[in-house]
Amino acid sequence: MTTHEFVRAAFPEPPARVLEIGCGPTGELASALAADGFDVLAIDPVAPDGALFRRARLEDLEVGDGPFDAAVAVRSLHHLHHLGPAMELIVSLLPRGIFVVEEFAWDLADEPTLVWFHAQRGRATERGDLLLADWVDEHRGLHGDEALRGALESRFETRTFDRGPDLYHRLGAEARAAESAAIEAGAIRAIGFRWTGVPR
Protein backbone atom coordinates (compact mmCIF):
# COMPACT_ATOMS: atom_id res chain seq x y z
CA MET A 1 0.00 0.00 0.00
CA THR A 2 1.46 3.35 -1.00
CA THR A 3 1.59 6.27 1.41
CA HIS A 4 -1.25 7.98 -0.47
CA GLU A 5 -3.38 4.83 -0.27
CA PHE A 6 -2.67 4.44 3.44
CA VAL A 7 -3.60 8.05 4.19
CA ARG A 8 -6.64 7.99 1.96
CA ALA A 9 -7.96 4.83 3.62
CA ALA A 10 -7.60 6.34 7.10
CA PHE A 11 -9.06 9.76 6.27
CA PRO A 12 -12.73 10.69 6.37
CA GLU A 13 -14.47 11.27 3.08
CA PRO A 14 -13.80 14.46 1.11
CA PRO A 15 -14.34 17.38 1.22
CA ALA A 16 -12.97 17.06 4.77
CA ARG A 17 -10.50 19.76 5.82
CA VAL A 18 -7.03 18.24 6.28
CA LEU A 19 -3.60 19.40 7.42
CA GLU A 20 -0.33 17.97 6.16
CA ILE A 21 2.57 18.59 8.54
CA GLY A 22 5.84 18.63 6.62
CA CYS A 23 4.88 18.46 2.95
CA GLY A 24 8.44 18.98 1.74
CA PRO A 25 9.48 20.97 -1.33
CA THR A 26 7.26 19.09 -3.79
CA GLY A 27 3.98 18.70 -1.92
CA GLU A 28 3.10 15.51 -3.80
CA LEU A 29 0.84 14.03 -1.13
CA ALA A 30 -1.01 17.32 -0.57
CA SER A 31 -1.60 17.67 -4.30
CA ALA A 32 -2.90 14.09 -4.53
CA LEU A 33 -5.26 14.67 -1.59
CA ALA A 34 -6.53 17.89 -3.16
CA ALA A 35 -7.18 15.98 -6.38
CA ASP A 36 -9.21 13.52 -4.29
CA GLY A 37 -11.44 16.42 -3.25
CA PHE A 38 -10.02 17.28 0.19
CA ASP A 39 -9.69 20.85 1.46
CA VAL A 40 -5.93 20.81 2.10
CA LEU A 41 -3.50 23.01 3.98
CA ALA A 42 0.07 21.71 3.71
CA ILE A 43 2.86 23.33 5.72
CA ASP A 44 6.64 23.17 5.56
CA PRO A 45 9.43 25.77 5.76
CA VAL A 46 10.30 24.76 2.17
CA ALA A 47 6.75 24.22 0.89
CA PRO A 48 6.19 24.93 -2.82
CA ASP A 49 4.18 27.83 -4.14
CA GLY A 50 0.44 27.37 -4.51
CA ALA A 51 -2.90 27.80 -2.82
CA LEU A 52 -2.57 24.50 -0.90
CA PHE A 53 0.72 25.42 0.71
CA ARG A 54 2.09 27.65 3.44
CA ARG A 55 5.76 28.12 4.21
CA ALA A 56 5.56 27.62 7.95
CA ARG A 57 6.62 25.35 10.78
CA LEU A 58 4.05 23.52 12.86
CA GLU A 59 4.71 25.85 15.80
CA ASP A 60 3.80 28.82 13.58
CA LEU A 61 0.19 27.62 13.42
CA GLU A 62 -2.43 28.81 15.86
CA VAL A 63 -5.64 27.24 17.14
CA GLY A 64 -7.51 29.66 14.89
CA ASP A 65 -6.01 27.93 11.84
CA GLY A 66 -8.17 24.90 12.70
CA PRO A 67 -10.18 22.96 13.26
CA PHE A 68 -9.19 20.20 10.86
CA ASP A 69 -11.02 16.93 10.29
CA ALA A 70 -7.77 15.03 9.80
CA ALA A 71 -4.01 15.59 9.84
CA VAL A 72 -1.11 13.66 8.38
CA ALA A 73 2.64 13.69 9.04
CA VAL A 74 4.87 11.61 6.78
CA ARG A 75 8.45 11.20 8.02
CA SER A 76 8.42 14.66 9.57
CA LEU A 77 7.78 14.26 13.31
CA HIS A 78 11.27 12.93 14.06
CA HIS A 79 12.66 16.34 13.04
CA LEU A 80 10.56 18.37 15.49
CA HIS A 81 12.55 19.89 18.35
CA HIS A 82 9.83 19.73 21.01
CA LEU A 83 7.52 16.76 20.54
CA GLY A 84 5.31 17.33 23.56
CA PRO A 85 4.21 20.89 22.71
CA ALA A 86 3.87 19.85 19.06
CA MET A 87 1.45 17.07 19.98
CA GLU A 88 -0.55 19.46 22.16
CA LEU A 89 -0.86 21.88 19.24
CA ILE A 90 -1.98 19.09 16.90
CA VAL A 91 -4.64 18.05 19.43
CA SER A 92 -5.91 21.64 19.57
CA LEU A 93 -6.06 21.81 15.77
CA LEU A 94 -7.69 18.39 15.52
CA PRO A 95 -10.21 18.26 18.37
CA ARG A 96 -12.27 15.37 17.00
CA GLY A 97 -10.37 14.24 13.91
CA ILE A 98 -7.89 11.52 13.06
CA PHE A 99 -4.11 11.86 13.00
CA VAL A 100 -2.29 9.70 10.45
CA VAL A 101 1.46 9.15 10.77
CA GLU A 102 4.10 7.39 8.70
CA GLU A 103 7.45 7.52 10.47
CA PHE A 104 11.10 6.56 10.37
CA ALA A 105 12.38 4.91 13.56
CA TRP A 106 16.05 5.29 12.72
CA ASP A 107 17.25 3.85 16.03
CA LEU A 108 15.78 0.41 15.25
CA ALA A 109 18.34 -0.20 12.49
CA ASP A 110 20.94 -2.85 13.35
CA GLU A 111 24.08 -4.07 11.59
CA PRO A 112 22.40 -6.65 9.29
CA THR A 113 19.81 -4.06 8.27
CA LEU A 114 22.48 -1.54 7.32
CA VAL A 115 24.61 -4.14 5.51
CA TRP A 116 21.52 -5.04 3.44
CA PHE A 117 20.79 -1.36 2.81
CA HIS A 118 24.29 -0.64 1.54
CA ALA A 119 24.27 -3.77 -0.62
CA GLN A 120 21.10 -2.47 -2.29
CA ARG A 121 23.00 0.72 -3.05
CA GLY A 122 25.83 -1.24 -4.66
CA ARG A 123 28.18 -0.71 -1.71
CA ALA A 124 28.62 -4.21 -0.38
CA THR A 125 30.50 -4.46 2.90
CA GLU A 126 30.74 -6.81 5.85
CA ARG A 127 31.68 -4.07 8.32
CA GLY A 128 28.28 -3.65 9.89
CA ASP A 129 29.86 -2.14 13.01
CA LEU A 130 31.26 0.78 11.02
CA LEU A 131 28.00 1.26 9.15
CA LEU A 132 26.06 1.36 12.42
CA ALA A 133 28.47 3.89 13.96
CA ASP A 134 28.12 6.16 10.91
CA TRP A 135 24.32 5.73 10.94
CA VAL A 136 24.10 6.76 14.59
CA ASP A 137 26.28 9.82 13.92
CA GLU A 138 24.14 10.78 10.91
CA HIS A 139 20.90 10.66 12.89
CA ARG A 140 22.08 11.91 16.26
CA GLY A 141 19.61 14.41 17.70
CA LEU A 142 16.58 13.05 15.82
CA HIS A 143 13.74 11.48 17.77
CA GLY A 144 13.73 7.69 17.78
CA ASP A 145 11.04 5.06 18.07
CA GLU A 146 10.34 5.28 21.81
CA ALA A 147 10.15 9.09 21.84
CA LEU A 148 7.87 9.22 18.81
CA ARG A 149 5.47 6.57 20.00
CA GLY A 150 5.46 7.90 23.55
CA ALA A 151 4.56 11.40 22.38
CA LEU A 152 1.76 10.06 20.18
CA GLU A 153 0.31 7.58 22.64
CA SER A 154 0.30 10.01 25.58
CA ARG A 155 -2.07 12.36 23.77
CA PHE A 156 -3.90 10.17 21.26
CA GLU A 157 -5.80 6.92 21.44
CA THR A 158 -4.15 4.52 19.01
CA ARG A 159 -6.42 3.15 16.32
CA THR A 160 -3.88 1.24 14.23
CA PHE A 161 -0.15 0.52 14.41
CA ASP A 162 1.99 -1.44 11.96
CA ARG A 163 5.73 -1.73 11.50
CA GLY A 164 7.05 -1.93 7.97
CA PRO A 165 9.68 -0.88 5.45
CA ASP A 166 11.22 2.57 5.27
CA LEU A 167 14.64 2.30 3.63
CA TYR A 168 13.00 2.21 0.19
CA HIS A 169 12.48 5.96 0.59
CA ARG A 170 16.23 6.28 0.03
CA LEU A 171 16.54 3.40 -2.42
CA GLY A 172 13.56 4.13 -4.66
CA ALA A 173 9.97 2.91 -4.64
CA GLU A 174 10.91 -0.21 -6.61
CA ALA A 175 12.92 -1.44 -3.59
CA ARG A 176 9.89 -1.57 -1.31
CA ALA A 177 8.99 -5.16 -2.23
CA ALA A 178 12.55 -6.39 -1.62
CA GLU A 179 12.72 -4.62 1.73
CA SER A 180 9.35 -6.05 2.77
CA ALA A 181 10.49 -9.55 1.78
CA ALA A 182 13.72 -9.20 3.77
CA ILE A 183 11.75 -8.05 6.81
CA GLU A 184 9.32 -10.94 6.43
CA ALA A 185 12.24 -13.38 6.24
CA GLY A 186 13.74 -11.97 9.44
CA ALA A 187 16.89 -10.84 7.64
CA ILE A 188 16.50 -7.15 8.48
CA ARG A 189 14.49 -5.01 10.86
CA ALA A 190 11.42 -2.98 10.03
CA ILE A 191 12.44 0.58 10.82
CA GLY A 192 9.27 2.28 9.62
CA PHE A 193 5.86 2.42 11.19
CA ARG A 194 2.37 3.52 10.27
CA TRP A 195 0.07 4.73 13.02
CA THR A 196 -3.36 6.30 13.29
CA GLY A 197 -5.04 7.77 16.36
CA VAL A 198 -7.59 10.23 17.67
CA PRO A 199 -7.22 12.78 20.50
CA ARG A 200 -7.94 11.40 23.96
In the chain, the domains with their CATH numbers are 3-105+142-171+190-199 (3.40.50.150)
The whole-number pLDDT of residue 68 equals 97
pLDDT score for 146: 96
Give pLDDT, residue 56: 95
Tell me how far apart the alpha carbons of residues 125 and 27 are, in angstroms, rounded to a whole number. Answer: 36
Cα–Cα distances in Å, from 9 out to 61, 116, 126, 140? 26, 31, 40, 33
**pLDDT mean values, one per 10 residues, the chain (200 residues):** 95 97 96 97 96 94 90 95 92 94 96 95 83 94 95 96 96 94 97 96
**Which pLDDT score, from 0 to 100, does residue 48 have?**
97
Per-residue model confidence (pLDDT) at position 55:
97
Considering the entire predicted model, what is its pTM?
Answer: 0.92
End-to-end CA distance of the chain: 28
pLDDT at 101: 98
Q: Give, to the nearest 10 degrees, the angle between helix 3-10 and helix 28-35.
A: 50
Sorted by sequence, the CB contacts under 8 Å of residue 164 that are 6+ apart come out as 180, 183, 190, 192, 193, 194
CA dist list (Å): 25 to 6, 18, 68, 113, 194: 21, 18, 22, 29, 22
Q: For residue 127, what pLDDT is reported? A: 85
φ/ψ of residue 198, rounded to 5: -130, 150
The per-residue pLDDT for 100 is 98
Cis bond before residue 67 (omega within 30° of 0): yes
For residue 100, the tally of other CB atoms under 10 A from its CB is 25
Other C-beta atoms lying within 10 Å of the C-beta of residue 125: 11
